[in-house]
Structure 1
C-alpha cells in the first residue's frame, strides 16, 4: 500500500526540520563587533604554541636528530603560519556573512579557499628560501626558483628537506584554521600551559645533555618567560570572556576598562618576569648579558639601516639647497693648475667614496633621532591630554557582580596587612583603648542597619520575592519595585544606607538610624499590614 500524500509531506517536513536542527547545532556564532579580548586571544594561543614548538626544534637541532645542527625551520615561522591562516579565515568568514549568502548546504565551503592555497604556497616558499637559498640568492631573484626546480628534478638530498618544510607549513596552517574555529576557554588555556611547560622542560634537559651552542641557550632560556607571560594574559582574557558570556549576571561595567586593566596588570607582571629572568640568567652565567647583547644585534642593525635611510632621504631633499648655496659662493683664490697625471692615477671608483653630507649627518642622526622621537611622543601625549574633555558626574553608587581588579581594594588590604604587623610588634595601649569604644559604636550601628536589611530580605522572601544569589542590593530593589508600585522612597533609603555601610564603610548617626527604623516600620505597615514586627528590632 502506497503512503498517502499527507504522510509524505509530514515525513519530508520532519526530515527538513531535523536537517535544520543539525545545521544549527554545527553552526558557530561570530560576534559582529568583537572586542579586544576576542581579537587578541587566538594570537596569544598561537604565540604559546610557537614557544613550545621552538623549544622542541632547538632540542632536536642540538641532538643532531635530522643530521642538521640548525633548526628545521626559522623560529618565527610557526607563529607566522598559525596567525596568518587564523586571521585569513576569520576575514573570509566575516566577508561572507556581510554578503548575506545562503547557508543551506552543510558541505558548503568558505568562499576564497584559493587564498589559502596562495597563502600556504607563498609562506612555504618564503621559509624554503630563508632556510636553504638565502645565502646564495635574493628573494626576488628568480634564479633560486630555478635552483629549486633543479634540485626537484635531480632528487638531491636538499629536496627532501624542502618536502619536510612544506609538510610543516601545511600542518601549522591547519593549526591556525583549527584555532579560528575553536572556542577558547580557561581550561583549554591551562591545559596548553601544562603541555607547553612539559615540552619546554624536556627540551631543556635534552639540550643540556647534548651540549648546544650558547646562542641557542639564550633563546631557549628566553622562551620560558615569554611562554609564561603569554599564558597568563591568555588565561586572564579567556576567564573574562567565559564569565561575560556564561555568568547569569555577566560582568557589569565598561568592557574596554576591564580589558585595559587586565592588560596593564599583566604587562607589569610580564615586566617583573623578564627582570627576574635576567637576574637569574646573570647570576647563573656571568656571560649571559654578553649573549643578550649578541642576540639584540639584529635590532641594532635594523636601527642602523633606518638611520641610513633617513640620512640619505634628508640628503636627497636638501641637496638642491646646498647646490644653490654653492652658486652664491664667491671664490677669491686663483685656481691652480695641477700637473698632468696618467689616466690610471685619475680613475677612482665612485663606489669607494661616500657623500660627505651623508658622512656628516650619520653621527648626528644617531643622537638626534632618539631625542626627537622622545620629544614627539611627549608632545603627542600632551596633545591628547589637552584634547580630552571631562565633566564631573554624580552617579548613583551601584554594585558590580564581578570585579576583575581594584587598585583601591588592593592598596587598602596591603595597608591593613602592614598596619597589623606594625601594631603586633609596637602596640599602643591608649590609642587602642580609645579606638575600641569608637569601634564598638560603629559595630553597633552596623548591626542595626544589617538587621533591618536582613528583616527586609526575610519579609520579601516570605511574600515570594526572594533575593537571587547573583543580585546586588540595587538590582534587587529595582526588581522589587517592579512587583510593588508603592514604597519606592522607603525601599530606596534602606538600600542606599545598606550599600553605604556594606561597601563604603560609612558610620551613621543615631538620627539616621532612627530614620531608617521609621522607614522600615512605614514599609511594613503600608505594604504588609499582616506581617509581624521582627523581634530582633
Structure 2
C-alpha cells in the first residue's frame, strides 16, 4: 500500500486529527521541558565563577558563626570547630566534582527521555562521600587530637571512639564538625545544580547577610556585657569577613546580571563574551585591591580605637536583639520546667566538665565526667545509647541529604546558537539604509548640493547593498518548513491580517479561509506541513520542500495581486 503525499490535497490529513496530534505533541513537549534542565555545553568563566562566589558568601556566614561559637566557648574550646581556611576548599571541591561527574555522564550517555525516571545515583558519588568522610575525620583530628598523636597513627581513632562512647566534649565537637562538613558538601552539590540567575544571587546575599548581621549583633552583645575594652581576634576576623562578603556579593551580582542580559536580552550586551567578562574581572580586581589596601590601612593606622568606636556605636543595635533573646529564653524556660521537674523526680543531676590533674601510677583511676555516683547505671546507659543514636541519625540523615543532592537528573546540553531563533533581532537592513538615505537627502538639501557626487555614489552603494541583502534573504530564508511558515505569517501581517497571540496555526488558517480575501486552497498543505515539522519533528525532504516553496511563492503572488 503506497503512502500518500501529505502535501497533496488527496493525501492531506483531516483537520481534527492534525489538531489532536498537535495538542498531544505540545503537551508531551511541555511535560518533558518542565522536567528537563538545559545547560550550556561550554560555560563561560563568569558563569562558572558565580557559583563559587555564592558558595563563598555562605562560607563567610558559616565562618562568622563558628568564630562566634569559639568566642562563647560553646563546645568548651577556644578554637573554631574547623579552621577558616578549610571551609571554602571543601565546598568548592564538592561543587567541582559534582559538575565534573554530571557533565561526564551527560556527554557519555544518551539523554533521558520522558519514560526514563531520573533519580539514580550519579557516577562518582562514592568518591564524593569518601571525601566527605575523610574530611570529617581530618577535621576531628585537627581539632581535638593533633597535639596528642600524629595523623598517621591510628591511636587517635581509638581515642575518638572512646570519646564517642563516653560522651566527652570531644564527641560533641566531632558531631558538630560532621554537621558542618555535611552542610558544606550539600551546599556545594546544590550550587553545582543551579544556574547563575540574578534573583538567586540576590536571595543568597540577603539570607547570608542577615545571618552575618545576627552574628555581629550577638558578638557585640557579648562584648558589651563583659565590658571588654580590648579588641579581640574575633572582631578582626569579622572585619575581614565583612570586606570579603561585600566584595564577593558585588562581583557575583555583576556577573549574574551580565549573563542574564546575554541570555534573555541578546541586544543588551553585544560583542565578545570573553572580552566582556575579562573587563568585569579586571575592574573588580582593581576594586578588590583597593578594598584590601583600605582595610589594611584601617587596621594598621586606626588600630583598636576605631574598632572600639564602632563597637560602641553599634552597641545600640544589640539592645532589641537582647530583648528578643530574653523573651525567647523565658518562653523556653516555661515550656521546659515540667520536664526539669520530671528529671529531678528521677534524681537526675547533671555535672559540667571537670578537669582533673594527672594521676600517678599508684593512684586510683577517676570516673568519667558523665559518671555520677547519684545517677543510676541503667539511666546512664540509656542516656548514652540515646545520645549515640542521635549522633548516628544525624550522620545518616546528612549522608542521605548529600546523596539526594547527587542524584541524576534529566539534562540536555545545548549550544548557544540553538536558541537564536527564539530571540528575533530588531535589526532591519532595509530600514537602516532607508533612514540613511533620508538623512543624507536632508543634509544635502541644507548644504546646497556641494557633495552631490558623493551623495549619488552613497545612494548607489546603498541600493546595491539593499538589493544584495534582499536577494540573500530570499535565497537563504526558505531552507526549512518553519522558515516558509514564518514568511507566510510576515506576508499575512503586511496584508493586514496578523496572527493573534493565543491563536494556533489551525485556528489562524480557518480564520483566513472564513471571511478574508487571503483565502486560498494552498493554505491547507502549508499549514499541515508546518504542524508536522513543528510538533511532529517530520521535516519534508528536498522534493517536498521545493514543492512547498513553489506553493508559497504562488500564494505570495496571489496575495500581492491588486
The answer to whether the 8 A contact 2:76-2:169 is kept is: no
Aligned position for 2:265: 247
Q: Which structure 1 segments of 5+ residues have no match?
A: 1-10, 290-467, 482-487, 502-507, 528-537
After superposition, the Cα gap between the structure-2 partners of 1:469 and 1:255, relative to the gap in structure 1 and judged at 3 Å, is closer
What TM-score does the superposition give when structure 2 sets the normalisation length?
A: 0.49
Alignment match of 1:68 (pick from 67, 77, 81): 77
Q: Which structure 2 segments of 5+ residues have no match?
A: 1-19, 308-422, 467-562
Q: Report whether the alignment pairs 1:147 with 2:147.
A: no
What CA distance in whole angstroms lies between the structure 2 residues aligned with 1:92 and 1:16? Answer: 32
Aligned position for 2:246: 228
What CA distance in whole angstroms lies between the structure 2 residues aligned with 1:69 and 1:277? Answer: 26
What CA distance in whole angstroms lies between the structure 1 residues aligned with 2:264 and 2:152? Answer: 51
Alignment match of 1:56 (pick from 65, 85, 94): 65
- Aligned ranges 1:100-249 → 2 under 5 Å: 100-101=109-110, 103=112, 104-211=116-223, 214-249=232-267
What CA distance in whole angstroms lies between the structure 1 residues aligned with 2:35 and 2:277? Answer: 30
What CA distance in whole angstroms lies between the structure 1 residues aligned with 2:441 and 2:275? Answer: 28
The answer to whether the 8 A contact 1:89-1:180 is kept is: yes
Task: Spell out, residue by residue over 1:399-421, the C-alpha distance to the aligned partner (whole angstroms, 9 max, x if none).
Answer: xxxxxxxxxxxxxxxxxxxxxxx
Q: CA deviation at 1:51?
A: 1.2
The answer to whether the 8 A contact 2:261-2:268 is kept is: yes
Q: CA deviation at 1:519?
A: 6.3
After superposition, the Cα gap between the structure-2 partners of 1:101 and 1:134, relative to the gap in structure 1 and judged at 3 Å, is farther
Q: Report whether the alignment pairs 1:95 with 2:101.
A: no
After superposition, the Cα gap between the structure-2 partners of 1:144 and 1:493, relative to the gap in structure 1 and judged at 3 Å, is farther
What CA distance in whole angstroms lies between the structure 2 residues aligned with 1:128 and 1:134? Answer: 9
SS of residue matched to 1:182: coil
After superposition, the Cα gap between the structure-2 partners of 1:286 and 1:63, relative to the gap in structure 1 and judged at 3 Å, is closer
What CA distance in whole angstroms lies between the structure 1 residues aligned with 2:133 and 2:78? Answer: 26
The answer to whether the 8 A contact 1:282-1:288 is kept is: no
- Aligned ranges 1:88-487 → 2 under 5 Å: 88-101=97-110, 103=112, 104-211=116-223, 214-249=232-267, 251-285=269-303, 471=426, 475-477=427-429, 480=431
The answer to whether the 8 A contact 1:52-1:199 is kept is: yes
SS of residue matched to 1:64: coil
What TM-score does the superposition give when structure 1 sets the normalisation length?
A: 0.51
Aligned position for 1:406: none
Aligned position for 1:447: none
The answer to whether the 8 A contact 2:91-2:188 is kept is: yes
Aligned position for 1:22: 31
What CA distance in whole angstroms lies between the structure 1 residues aligned with 2:296 and 2:258? Answer: 31
**Cα RMSD over matched residues?**
4.1
- Structure with the greater relative contact order (CA < 8 A, sep ≥ 6): 1 or 2? 2
Q: CA deviation at 1:137?
A: 2.3
The answer to whether the 8 A contact 2:75-2:169 is kept is: no
Q: CA deviation at 1:31?
A: 1.8
Q: CA deviation at 1:153?
A: 3.5
Aligned position for 2:450: 511
What CA distance in whole angstroms lies between the structure 1 residues aligned with 2:215 and 2:300? Answer: 21
Task: Spell out, residue by residue over 1:483-519, the C-alpha distance to the aligned partner (whole angstroms, 9 max, x if none).
Answer: xxxxx7x877778999xx9xxxxxx997358955996
What CA distance in whole angstroms lies between the structure 2 residues aligned with 1:470 and 1:193? Answer: 34
Task: Spell out, residue by residue over 1:88-122, the C-alpha distance to the aligned partner (whole angstroms, 9 max, x if none).
Answer: 11011011012124522233332222122112111
